[in-house]
Amino acid sequence: MELDDLLHRYFATSDISQLSPTALVAGIERCQVDLGLEQDRGKRFPLWALLHMRGAAPDLDVAFEDEGDRDAARNLMELLEASGPE
């Protein structure tokens, strides 16, 4: 899954800074529902990452059964934190 594809799927744009608060909340809610329904690990991770970047991701132990997936998510969080604010 490409980030642009996810942004278009859930927010109908690749520039979410232009969204109204209502459209942003609706896109996040759709993404959260899909994360909850998705069984494929390879598809769950990008959904979780998008939600994490929007401050709406579930806790790692809720999102990922596999410890390796939780470790990958922790690594992503550390990389994003190290990169600083946008």
- pLDDT at position 84 is 78
Domain, as residue range, for 50: 3-83
Total of domains in the chain: 1
- The full DSSP string for 10-39 is HHSSS-GGGS-HHHHHHHHHHHHHHHHH--
d(CA 68, CA 46) in angstroms, rounded, equals 15
pTM of the model as a whole: 0.90
* Cβ count near 44 (within 10 Å): 20
Q: Per-residue pLDDT tens for 16-45?
A: 899 999 999 999 999 999 999 999 999 999
Tell whether the model's pLDDT for residue 86 goes beyond 80: no
Q: Per-residue pLDDT tens for 51-79?
A: 999 999 999 999 999 999 999 999 999 99
